[in-house]
Structure 1
Amino acid sequence: MIQYHVSFANPLTFYLQVQMQLAVPAQEAAPLELQLPAWRPGRYEIQNFGQKIQRVEAFDADTAEPLPLRKLTKDRWEVANATGRTVRVQYNFYAHQMDAGGSWLDESQLYLNGIQCFMYAEGRQAEPCQLTLALPDGWRIACGMTQTAPNVLEAASFDVLVDSPLIASPTLQHASYEAGGLPFHVWVQGNEARPNWEVIVRDFKAFSEEQLRLFGSFPAADYHFLNEILPYKHYHGVEHINSTVITLGPAEQLMNEELYKDFLGVSCHELFHAWNIKSIRPAEMMPYDYTRENYFRTCFVAEGITTYYGEYLLARANVRTAWQYFDELNTVLRKHYDDHGRANLSVADASMDLWLDGYKAGVPDRKVSVYHKGALVALLLDLHIRRRHNHRRSLDDVMRRLWQEFGQTGIGYTEQDYQRVVTEVAGEDMNWYFDGHIYGTAELEGPLDEALRFAGCCLMVQLNGSFAEGRLGFRTVQKGDRTEVTDIHPDSPASHNLTVDDQIVAVNGRRVSGNLQSLLNNGQLQHEVTVFRQDRLVTVELQPSSERLYWPRITVAKLAEATAAQQASFSQWLNQAF
């Protein structure tokens, strides 16, 4: 068993002291090489956790003799003269990142994601691991790992060790419930949080049972929601096989409608990931290679389908009303149609590009979101299958098949496997869907509207209320008394005369000072706009288009005159009355 030990001397420094101890067989010929992961599952970008490591040393654990240590790469070390010895490696780790994939130390808690701070011995990742925590008296631990003794946790392998985040604190709040015969735990860390446990348990139990009904079984023996409820505004969640970490705030508003809506949405989303990506895993990640990019083209399945189900199942479980679900769906639509990268990159290629720039804004109009477009193409697929088979089949059947064929068997699926399962469930040639909407950049409005009408709904397209956005095609932000251009719609009037970062100072000879919209929307057919561009004064002319509208507001709504069949279909889809 490979042993890890974590302690801290002064939490005000944010430094943890980490030790790793293992026996190296006398017959071992290869040198001992230790690797720190460079990224974490759930966020597909290289993060270089080696930046957080300080003062790495190696010793013979029996004699305390220092052993030669050489750094091979940014996050790999070689220990010389290790053969036949019990080796102890020790270093300091800087735990000062409060998000759902980070680690944090202060006087009130230790929150740890082991993927950031634990090394593995090359070739020995499959060996059992034991983690001992040196904690003050009165602290307890929230974690998905098995606790075998006070402050001692055990994992079957390195993968399980680093897939099991923990919170240790004297102020942890806890509630539990049962769903499908399995125990579920909800942990809350945060002195300012006042959870209404009766409401939380009722709603969490409802969406957990709905997910269990969908898949039929669960990939773990229990599940833990680890919630860092923070005193400031925050929103983030990361999935693990039998747990999730969620960071959310501000804590005082946890049970208010808006923040509680986010709490439910991210919790339902992350639980769905226990099946979809943690168990139903792409072949390219079987096993994980923590040293480099693990490229895969199916993140639209892993994240897009999960984004769809994370909100949809709350409605189907009657935790949310249909209107509340549509509010969330409309947010996804707005984010998708805000970015014209949807015309330039397919969602399959965007899956690959997560490793490039998937978690930042990037250059204008380059890419599409696997979360937002992925959710919309999942909605389209679900309703298409339901319409073809009158609700006797749906996307549920696709996910169950993936769970049975790949999740339960431990076999990674390929993009060809996913296409095959979709085609078999749909019972027809699905090239129109994959060629146009997965591997292509075909517009979604028409197919989505047609699919929604089967369920008594439609896409509503409304004029953008901003004259600058809707008629001229540019967006601005107010920075103090400065009005700066932030986005320009391709092929709009603004695209031929303005550029991002222009500071608009006057319209038709009138100074701009928080009054841009009124100056533009004055009935004139042409506007003279004066801007500072790289500190040079430039005057351009803008004329509204008489044929096109830009950034329209696209939303889902019920049909005003839905037929009885459409209303019945709506009820079968959402499990709610029309």
Structure 2
Amino acid sequence: MTGLNINRFLIAVVTIMLFLPAQAAVKSVTNGVSYYIDLTQNEHHLGQVEIEFPGTNEPYLDIQMPVWRTGLYNILNLPKAVRHFEAKSASGAALEASKIDKSTWRIRLQDDQPTQVSYQVYANELGRRSRHIDDTHAYLDASAVFMYADQWRQQPIQVELKVPADWRSVSGMNSTAAHTFVADNWDILVDSPIETGIHDAYSFTEQGRDYEVVFWGEGNYDAEQTVADLRKLVRTGDHIWSSYPFERYVFMIHATDGAGGATEHLNSTVIQRPRFSYASRKDYLSFMSTASHEFVHTWNVKAYRPDGLVPYEYQHENYTDLLWIAEGSTSYFQDHLLLKAEVMKLEEYLGNLAQRLDAHEQKPGTDTMSVAEASFNHWIAEGGPRAHNASVNIYSEGAVISMALDFALLQATDNKVSFRDVHNALYEKFDATETGFTSADVKTILAELTGQDWDNWWQEHVEQPHQVDAAALLKQVGLAIEPRDKQEAWVGWRTKTSESGVQLTRVDRHSPAWDAGFTEGDFVVAIDGQRVTADRLQEQLNEHQHKETVTVSYFRRDKLATKTLELASRPVDKMVIKPMAEPTRAQRAQFKAWLGFDHPHAK
């Protein structure tokens, strides 16, 4: 029997052990806030919440629910799910309560007794990773479930759940009994989601820290292989940082339908994927990259984060021009850790890198928006064709700029300083519970580590739109982009099949189709008088030569029209990155400083 199977057979014992907190870390909830939620109406996605707040001599008490949650920088208007809000004093006297804005209830107090609040919350938003209750489980992110009073935000809390008899509850918070959790304040509660229900659960200890992996939902995942690889992953923190910011960590994995994504928390993460998207090597590595991304966030965002996010303000947007570091650098490092853990092979890493760099080169928005602007505007980030043509993404473009900065540091210091050193310095200098870092702080760290000024680099790469030279970057570490000689006709549009013809879903800015005046929504029906079909469109275009002009017939607003279009060309094959057969000594040295192991063709 394997160690993992032993853990499964002894899960009851493991559960009890996990529920025993370190006494010094737990405070009494005397004069704190007590939360209770009844989850027995789960088939209707309903939870009944009760909260008791300490007494106060103030004439009223404002109770609030956040309008967004951490890890998803969008206004979600979470209070919309609340119904039947009531308030009373500890003696049972009803208190007048009125809603004064979309997320605030004002309670008129009669004396200094504790105030008791109750309300019903509807929880059927699984994909947002905010709140979901059904007959098999409940996932509770406190920002979407438990209200707070600002003056009691820093008081100790206790949360008790009423659940079906066969349910099991887990959270990154300490637990004093089954289905009961405690924390030093509401900020810990809001960053420690609760997963309760019918689970497949595993646990292990690594380097003196305790880990738990909880699977909800059936799927084609291999649970034991997943846990074994997560165990390898969690050993890699010292590849970047000087210490770990937690003693216990929980992976919550949802195998489900119609939901995907993940969110980092203080010492836990929730990862959601379609239930049958785990088995292939490609899908499995995608899952592991997500797990690694969230694990990196335990440091980058949860232990240290930009100034605009410290402290979190839950009633409005939290602006910063550094989300490209918070998210993009995390995306950059996620596969580094999988390489270090030997979960991912070098050729797989290079495949992911090629996909990212290829997308960067093909994105028109890189010459329009900087990563700093994208960070600040992420709260109102666009989607669809406009986003592709006029903006960049803090995740993918932030990762590319992170790589460019990493290589610039290695070049400037003869491989003595890397971007890992910058992140470790941020970790050691800034505590997210107290203060955040600014762009000026990052540039100061860069100067301290290298003895050089980085203002010009920062302005060129961060504050202005910038497209990196992928081939030149890769050459520094003895990598090359394979030649892509085979070409196909290209006009710069994307299409989908429609009853009215082939509909354009996107037109790349400054492409031939863009310059000819085509736009998304047009229905292309013929090329040079020959009817267009979705399965032959590319073939029809390939029948013509580069820079040859064709006549395109199309419908716009149900009216037939024609335009002439000059064809361009592009490589048929996707970008492929390969190690150089004979790298120089300098290239081999920078490769090792970059990834931490020898170049494949090191002599």
CA 1:12 to 1:139, structure 2 compared with 1: closer, same or farther past 3 Å?
A: closer
Whole-Å Cα distance in 1 between the matches of residues 520 and 457 of structure 2? Answer: 35
The match for 2:150 among 115, 122, 130 is: 122
Matched residue type, 2:479: C
1:407 to 1:122, Cα distance in 2 relative to 1, 3 A: closer
Q: Secondary structure in 1 aligned to 2:260?
A: strand
Separation in structure 2 between the aligned mates of residue 236 and residue 491 of structure 1, nearest angstrom: 33
Q: Please give the alpha-carbon distance, in whole angstroms, between the structure 2 residues aligned to 1:88 and 1:212.
A: 46
More displaced, 28-37 or 291-300? Answer: 28-37
What is the aligned counterpart of 1:405 among 407, 429, 445? Answer: 429
State yes or no: 1:46 paired with 2:75: yes
1:141-187 Cα distance to aligned partner (Å, 9 max, x none): 12101111221111111111111111111x31222233332112211
Spell out the pairing of 1:93-242 with structure 2 (5 A cutoff). Answer: 93-99=121-127, 101-169=129-197, 171-192=198-219, 194-197=221-224, 199-230=225-256, 232=257, 234-242=259-267
Q: Verify: 1:22 aligned to 2:22, yes or no.
A: no
**1:282 lines up with 2:345 in the alignment:** no
- Give the AA of the match of 1:41: T
Q: 3-state SS of the aligned residue for 1:187?
A: strand
Helix, strand or coil at the partner of 2:401: helix
Q: Deviations over 1:274-318 (max 9, x none)?
A: 110111121222211100011011001100100000112211332
SS of structure 2 residue aligned to 1:215? coil
The counterpart of 1:501, out of the listed 521, 544, 547, is 521
Matched, 1:512 2:512: no
Tell whether the 8 Å contact from 1:344 to 1:367 is kept in structure 2 after alignment.
yes
Quick one: structure 1 residues 501 and 280, their matched pair in 2 at CA, closer, same or farther if it must change by over 3 Å?
same
TM-score, L = length of structure 1: 0.92
Q: What's the counterpart of residue 549 of structure 2?
A: 526
Give the match's secondary structure for 2:551: strand
Residue of 577, 582, 601 corresponding to 1:556: 577
CA contact (8 A) 1:3 1:131 kept: yes
Deviation of residue 405 (structure 1)? 0.5
Contact 1:492–1:550 (CA under 8 A) maintained in structure 2 = no
**Relative to 1, partners in 2 of residues 1:323 and 1:550: Cα closer, same or farther, differing over 3 Å?**
closer
SS in structure 1 opposite 2:389? coil
Unaligned runs of 5+ in 1: none
Q: Which amino acid aligns with 1:523?
A: H
Rounded to whole Å, the distance in 1 between the matches of 2:571 and 2:503 is: 19
Task: Work out whether residues 52 and 93 of structure 1, in 8 Å CA contact, stay in contact via their aligned partners in 2.
Answer: yes
| Residue pair 1:504, 1:530 contacting (<8 A) in 2 also | yes
The answer to whether structure 1 residue 13 and structure 2 residue 44 are counterparts is yes
Q: Distance in 2 between matches of 1:222 and 1:549?
A: 50
Look up the match of 2:342.
318
SS where residue 562 of structure 2 aligns? strand
Given candidates 71, 95, 111, the residue that maps to 2:99 is 71
**In 1, Cα distance between equivalents of 2:383 and 2:87:** 36
What's the CA shift for 1:564? 4.8
Rounded to whole Å, the distance in 2 between the matches of 1:194 and 1:312 is 23
Q: Deviations over 1:119-145 (max 9, x none)?
A: 111221101111110011121112101
**Is 1:463–1:553's contact at 8 Å kept on the other side of the alignment?**
no
Distance 1:259 1:225, change over 3 A: same
Q: For residues 186 and 391 of structure 1, do their structure 2 counterparts lie closer, same or farther at Cα, with a shift above 3 Å needed?
A: farther
Q: How many angstroms apart in 1 are the aligned matches of 2:332 and 2:72?
A: 18
SS of 1:123 mapped into structure 2: helix
Shift in alpha-carbon separation, 1:112–1:210, aligned structure 2, 3 A? same
Are residue 345 (structure 1) and residue 369 (structure 2) matched? yes
Matches within 5 A, 1:243-258: 243-251=268-276, 253-258=277-282
Percent identity (aligned): 28
Contact kept? 2:87, 2:107, Cα under 8 Å: yes
What CA distance in whole angstroms lies between the structure 1 residues aligned with 2:203 and 2:476? 39
* Structure 2 CA distance for partners of 1:360 and 1:424, relative to 1, 3 Å: farther
- Contact 1:233-1:250 at 8 Å conserved across structures: no
Deviates more, 1:89-98 or 1:516-525: 516-525
Out of 47-56 and 404-413, give the one that drifted further.
Answer: 404-413
Establish whether residue 490 from structure 1 lines up as the match of residue 501 from structure 2. no
Residue correspondence of structure 1 range 446-485 to structure 2 within 5 A: 448-459=470-481, 462=484, 466-467=488-489, 470=490, 472-479=491-498, 482-485=501-504
The DSSP-based 3-state class of the residue aligned with 1:297 is coil
Matched length: 564
CA distance in 2, matches of 1:419, 1:83: 53
Distance 1:565 1:183 in 2: 41
Deviations 1:40-89 (A, max 9, x none): 111111111011111211122322x3211111100101001243122211
Partner Cα distance (1:143, 1:505) in 2:
56
- Matched with 2:587 is 566
**Normalising by structure 2, what TM-score?**
0.88
Secondary structure (helix, strand or coil) at the match of 1:442 reads coil
Using the TM superposition, name which of 294-303 and 557-566 deviates more.
Answer: 557-566
Q: Deviations over 1:175-222 (max 9, x none)?
A: 22333321122111113455341x333322222211234212111221
Distance 1:560 1:566 in 2: 12
* Structure 2 unaligned blocks of 5 or more: 1-31
SS at match of 1:99: helix
Q: 1:508 to 1:82 in 2, by over 3 A?
A: farther
Shift of 1:263: 1.7
Instruction: Describe the SS at the equivalent of 1:365.
Output: helix
Q: Following the alignment from structure 2 to structure 1, what is the Cα–Cα distance between the partners of residues 40 and 372?
A: 47
Letter matched to residue 218 of structure 2: N
Comparing 140-149 with 387-396, greater Cα deviation is found at: 387-396
Which residue identity does 1:516 align to in structure 2? L
CA RMSD of superposed structures (Å):
2.3
Q: Could you list the per-position Cα deviations for residues 307-351 of structure 1 after superposition, in whole angstroms to 9, with x for gaps in the alignment?
A: 000112211332211111112212322433343121111100100
> Take 2:572 and 2:379, find their aligned partners in 1: how far apart are those partners?
29
Deviates further, 188-197 or 312-321: 188-197
- Residue 536 of structure 1 is matched in structure 2 by 559
Instruction: Give the AA of the match of 2:264.
Output: E
Q: CA shift at 1:517, angstroms?
A: 1.3
Q: Secondary structure at the match of 1:77?
A: strand
State the secondary structure of the residue aligned to 2:68: coil
The Cα shift of 1:530 comes to 0.3
| Residues 67, 233 of structure 1: alpha-carbon distance in 2 compared, 3 angstrom cutoff | closer
Question: Given that residues 344 and 366 in structure 1 are in contact (C-alpha distance below 8 angstroms), is that contact kept between their aligned partners in structure 2?
Answer: yes
Aligned with residue 391 of structure 2, among 357, 367, 372: 367
In the alignment, is residue 385 of structure 1 matched against residue 409 of structure 2?
Answer: yes
C-alpha change, 1:275 and 1:392, in structure 2 (3 Å) is same
